[in-house]
Amino acid sequence: KPKEKAKAKPSPRRRPLMTKPVDDVYLTWLYQRPVYGLEQAVGMLKKFQELDFTHPKQFVYINVFLDMDLKKKQLDPFSSAMLLPHRFTDEVKKVLVFTENEQEAEIARESGAAVVGGVELIKWILEDEVQADFYVAVPAIIAKLIPLRHKLKQKFPNTRRNSLGTDIPKMVQLFRECHEYAVQDERVIKTRIARLDMPTEHIIANLKAVIHDICTFKPPTYDPIVQRLVIRSSTSEGLQLNLDGILPRVEKVEEGEEAEKNADDEEEEEEKRSQEPVSA
């Protein structure tokens, strides 16, 4: 009988969330989460810091929620290293340059490479005697580095990661001063982008640069990869951002199917090109 009574009891209907509260005190779960413009949100974070007397140089973070689905497959979690328009840390990464050309080696040293050498480094790296944050190489030596491929994994020099090329100063600068981020839990990126005491326009420029870099991992003919974006500081609540004006503009292609195929073909071609020197 008690079971029958439980069955007879109708389940409560969920009401749709209301948009804006009219009182100062309200139950947040009854209302839709407010969405803010980027400049407004950064201003609010700065105001929170003043009112709460927290550290003015605290970090600003973003949480980026992604759509990793393509038409016939799913994007694998990815990572990236990029230069921000406005650096917010003095941290410098240790870069190792592979080259057997003495002139290139001198350029690498002058550019700030921590370690420079040729095939003689392979043994030391395999035995963990030599380590670096990033490894870059010129095309002439890449075929000789195959023994390191399993050891270095994603850090093995690759054109797609901009760590295989002929412009040594550019590669060294990128990886010495780069900002890194990676997809976590299959669809979320959590990364710091600035310090709160930086000018608002600098914080905005850094945020947009990271978002634009993230968007390069999904072909433009598909739906945007960024679904939701939240900004916060070390001590503040998260503020959900309006994506208008943040996502890069993409011109709509009339022949959608053909454009998708071209995008996929370009990806495959790029992947092949990046692997060609390795398999030589």
CA–CA gap between residue 11 and residue 249 (Å, rounded): 45
State pLDDT tens for residues 51-82: 999 999 999 999 999 999 998 889 999 999 99
Q: CATH number for the domain including 99? A: 3.40.50.790
Are residues 195 and 153 located together in one domain of the fold? no
**Claim to verify: residue 128 and residue 147 sit in the same structural domain:** yes
Give me the pLDDT at residue 233, please. 97
Determine, yes or no, domain membership for 50: yes
pLDDT in tens, 82-129: 999 999 999 999 999 999 999 999 999 999 999 999 999 999 999 999
- Assigned domain for 138 exists: yes
Report the predicted TM-score, pTM, of the whole model to 2 decimal places: 0.79
pLDDT at 266: 53
To the nearest whole number, what is the mean pLDDT of the chain?
87
Q: Which of 147, 177, 207 is the last residue of a domain?
A: 177
C-beta of residue 181 within 8 angstroms of C-beta of residue 189: yes
Element (H, E) at 170: helix 168-177
**102 and 241 together in one domain:** no
Asked, for residue 129, whether it belongs to a domain, the answer is yes
User: In whole angstroms, how far apart are CA 118 and each of 97, 98, 101, 162, 235?
Assistant: 8, 5, 9, 19, 47
Q: How far is CA 220 from CA 141, 167, 261, in A?
A: 34, 28, 12
3-state SS assignment for residue 86 = coil
Per-residue confidence band for 255, with pLDDT thresholds at 50, 70 and 90: very low
> Quick check: 27 pLDDT over 60?
no
The average pLDDT across 163-168 equals 98
Q: Which domain holds residue 120?
A: 92-177
Query: Domain with 53 in it: what CATH number?
Result: 3.30.190.20
- DSSP class per residue in 121-143: HHHHHHTTSS--SEEEE-HHHHG
What's the structural domain count of the chain? 2
Using a pLDDT cut of 70, give the percent of the chain over it: 78
60 and 118 fall within a common domain: no
Residue 198 domain-assigned? yes
